[in-house]
Chain A
């Protein structure tokens, strides 16, 4: 494709997964109406556990999942060395995700609880950016394919892409969702970064903050809003900890 006199290139993309549910990878194959166009703009050279010896190089690495084992540390370092651009996909890669709840327990105890008498080697869960530098983070559980598309478009053509600075509330309002606080639900919408199009509140479920904090959060006011409506400290703390995005704030 040629535009503004510039011929665009198809970037070579590698897709990798770490500790996670692979739901974000699945999202990449989602959104059928644009899937063909998506694949025609990029050159996928690695997808799913193709061995690290894979001959073809990639310039962009899309990485899903958190880091929770020693071999994962090695592998993400290798990917970082190969890739010009490393993109963390989803809440696990960006914040540690649900996996990170493990860090609140004694590691051995957690290991026994899950694997019984056959414990597996494990490390405290870390987000990708706690192990290697990350160029772009697309949070969400799972990531939104539309957002991945826009990031990829941005990487190919440098077209505008910006995560919304504002919180989820704005998107709820823009789709005429009745505020779930009005329905007696707890919701992290007022402090969570928008861009997901607020599907959870639209379905009557308060936001769980999978996209982490908005550019600016009024955490103090949020706490008093939640407390005034009768939510307990435990409820609030649990909600904030769930995806790991509010570390350092909450």
Chain B
């Protein structure tokens, strides 16, 4: 009888012996093993947000780590917890990833206190991405509201680093007030790139603000869109993307060419825990990037 009940050791399956790579989703592996990473730099963006430049310590793990714009990672602070954060850096940037993190809870609080050189964990990348390849040859609208610039920034890099592949490019960004603007030190650079229309708007200007004032939709008034030749990526709170997308839709843009990124509180990132479930859709697997038609059909999304 004894030999019938020999313990079966999952860790001896051949796939388990291969290096950890979250892009190979269907292979059996230690799903909860994280890459150990070091905080290289902390860049203060606003009172609430900091940008963390994070390097995976193991060189070969770092080389294998690749992602696409719009994807997210689970950031682990051992002892504190794990949270989903979208990647803000360029896909072509090797050596480190950039994570823009708002101080909002326990884990983000710990990250904001952490010093340069601290070790954290990263699992991922997870989720769907913006279809940058498909957008080539088209006009591109990149629109962000508030913290939405964090998930959009990777796509901005993908477009400006390959400027020749796209037709007209507009980057529109809006926040409540000027002190909430993220990455303001980069607008100058982005705006100077050949033929990129960058516009920033705030709802509540301070004394020094000289730019336009109002909601993000106001910026759309000044832009001519060829609905059949345009793709849009819209990142921001539900009320914002809803207004922007229905506006674009009215102008004749197909809903299948507008992409948005939804925010939910994932606990696993792997389509298991159900915490990011919207009706019957797992945001971590089928999202966070969805086209607007799909979002319209998610009863809970907006």
Contacts and interface: CB of A to CB of B under 8 A. Distances in A.
B233 interface: no
Interface in A1-23: 3-6
Contact of B117 (A3, A5, A160): A5
Contacts of B107: 160
A161 to B, nearest CB: 8
Interface residues of A, number: 8
Nearest to A157: B79
Contact of A159 (B106, B116, B118): B106
A4 B106 contact: no
A6 B79 contact: no
A32 B117 CA distance: 36
Interface of A: 3-6, 157-160
A3 B80 CA distance: 11
Interface of A, secondary structure class, is: loop
5 contacts: A4-B110, A4-B113, A4-B115, A5-B115, A6-B115
Interface string B176-199: 000000000000000000000000
A6 B114 CA distance: 7
A3 B118 CA distance: 8
Contacts of B79: 3, 157, 159
A3 B77 CA distance: 10
Contacts, number: 27
A160 B116 contact: no
Contacts of A5: 114-118
Nearest to A162: B106
Interface string B100-120: 000000110110011111100
B81 interface: yes
Contact of A158 (B109, B115, B116, B117): B109
Nearest to B114: A4
Interface in B62-100: 77, 79-81
B18 to A, nearest CB: 31
Nearest to B111: A4
B106 A6 contact: no
Contacts of A6: 113-115
A156 to B, nearest CB: 12
A241 B227 CA distance: 66
A6 B107 CA distance: 15
A159 B80 CA distance: 5
A4 B118 contact: yes
B279 to A, nearest CB: 22
5 smallest CB-CB distances across A and B, nearest first, come from: A5-B115, A4-B114, A4-B118, A160-B106, A5-B118
Nearest to A153: B79
B38 to A, nearest CB: 11
A158 B77 CA distance: 12
A157 B78 CA distance: 12
Given A3-B79, A4-B77, A158 B114 contact: no
Given A4-B110, A4-B113, A160 B81 contact: yes
A38 to B, nearest CB: 17
Interface string B228-250: 00000000000000000000000
A153 to B, nearest CB: 9
Interface centre among A3, A4, A159, A160 (most CB of B within 10 A): A4
A10 B180 CA distance: 36
Contacts of A157: 79
